[in-house]
Amino acid sequence: MNIEKRFQQISQSIFETPDGDSFIEKLHGERQKRHVKKMGIINGITAAAFVAVFGLITTNQLTDDPAAYASNDLKPLEVMDSETEEYVYDLAEYLEIPESFVGDYYQLSRTRKFIHEHAGPIKYAVIDDDLTIRRRNSKYWTGESNMETSRRDATQTEILEAFATFNIWLDECDIGIVGLSTPDAPPATAEYVDTKGVFGMLFIDGRMLSEHLPEMDLTSIRVAEDVLFIYECLSRGINTRQSTEWMYDNGSLKKDMQSTRVVWTDMHDVQPKDHFQTDEHYMALEHIRTKFPEGIKIYEKDGRRKNTKYWKKVYQSINQGPSLEEFFDD
């Protein structure tokens, strides 16, 4: 089809956006159908199970209030009834893990790559479960306190504020990954720090990543695959930014949640005291060091294996021109 005919087709097409009344009418109709169906189920329940890896829903299209799903009829998110919540979730699209991934030795790294491939050239997030988003006191980088404590759980409105900030950062020419800080290290004295290792909750500019994804090594190791991913990105000019203000607590690191980390626990019949001291972990780090020798140092201290990561030594800025010496040599 030539381009003139395609433009003509587009110009003759009719594009419609749903009005509020039709949406509400459809919603109530769906509620009624679900109620009738639910009352008719007497003798049993049929269950279909699937793994939802990545779902995306745009709710602010339905209302000017980001804390509510619709401007007049629907209730705010925190008091929404189950039928409304289920219906709104059905508006999302879900990505299902291929059956061949389940039980595979590299299932986590393969799943993450699958998400990146499916997302394509858009902005998106990859978020681990069991994470709690928290807000840190601004006194650390502004000198002015905005809360009574050093940090606290973020409210729904604050989470939207954080997401909006990350969205803006991803529009900067060299920032392709935004992540949150953790309580493991003291807070930085700036709002954010660039070229850092970020994990657990990543906001990604697929416009940058999708260009390089086919050539990246993302599935060759079972653990520390998140470290490998960051190095693969940094080495291709995709820079990272770690927020100081926004942080997360990882619930899966709690003692009573350790058994849920099957990527680690399934490798051992008898669980080690520290998975990060295992041969499997350091074999993965050695693999990373063979690819990025300038990016990681592995050594032993006080009878324990340790490693230091040098993110900035791996990063190749897309804006970095020749040095003065290289310029004049040319």
CB neighbour burial string for 149-181, b if at least 16 within 10 angstroms, e if fewer:
eebeebeeebeebbeebbeebbeeebbbbbbbb
Q: What is the pLDDT of residue 91?
A: 77
What proportion of the chain, given as a percentage, has pLDDT over 70? 69
User: Binning pLDDT at 50, 70 and 90, where does residue 115 land?
Assistant: very high
CA dihedral of 43, 49, 54, 60, whole degrees rounded to 10 = 0
pLDDT at 293 over 50: yes
The pTM assigned to this predicted structure is 0.71
pLDDT at 11 over 80: no
Q: What is the pLDDT of residue 15?
A: 43
Q: What is the pLDDT of residue 36?
A: 44
CB neighbour burial string for 276-311, b if at least 16 within 10 angstroms, e if fewer:
eebebbbebbeebbeebeebbeeeeeeeebebebeb
Of residues 92 and 208, more confidence is placed in 208
